[in-house]
Amino acid sequence: MVLKLVPINTLTDTRKKILHAAYKCLAQTGFNRITVDEIALRSGISRKVIFHYYKGLKNLLSDLGESSFYWPSTEELLANAPEDFPDICPEEQVAAFFLSLRKELEERPETLRIMAWEMLERSDLSDELEDVRVRTALEFFEHLGPDVPDEVDLAAAIALLGGGISYLAIRSLNTKTYGGVSLQDEIGWERLEHAMHCMLKGLLFP
């Protein structure tokens, strides 16, 4: 699968301003209340110009989702992974994905806020952003080693871990601890990392 990505440095200045404004607006107001008028006001770009570039909000958010504003590319995620990633064991490869993702999301707090809105407000607009995340994960896991046991439901394991990591990352915006584990320092996340390694090892090689 080839992931279509729009590198931010290939965008015109006008499109950058539009996407950045949409990103900020969406994080603040959510999917149900975001409007082109609000994006125009924040970006300083008229509705007419915005509609020149985008046919509507759905088209605009699709472009936002595939820019580096919103979500890290597979290349960015792999850059955070160990250098010997293709040769390490499967549980370490899966763990590397989530650890890399967590680091990238720390640099994108607005993305975490948008994901929090997504839990409350489902629509065609939220689907556009969710599709980007799914495609990135699928592309990353194409690099997994071939020795995952056939009887292991890896997709279910990834969904469970991904949901947990995403939820805790979102909670870290305004919660210091969860279940007695710190979410706002490396000590807490190292504990979670160790637990994740143990869970993956038990799942993949019981």
Number of domains forming the structure of the chain: 2
- Give yes or no for residue 181 having a pLDDT over 50: yes
pLDDT band at 34 (very low <50, low <70, confident <90, very high): very high
Are 55 and 101 part of one and the same domain? Answer: no
Is the same domain home to 48 and 81?
no
Q: What is the pTM of this model?
A: 0.83
**pLDDT class of 4 with cuts at 50, 70, 90:** very low
How many other CB atoms are found less than 10 A from the CB of residue 146?
A: 5
CA distance 121 to 15: 26
99 lies in which domain range? 74-107+144-204
Q: What angle in degrees, to the nearest 10, is found between the helix axes of 90-106 and 109-120? A: 100
Same domain as 99, residue 43: no
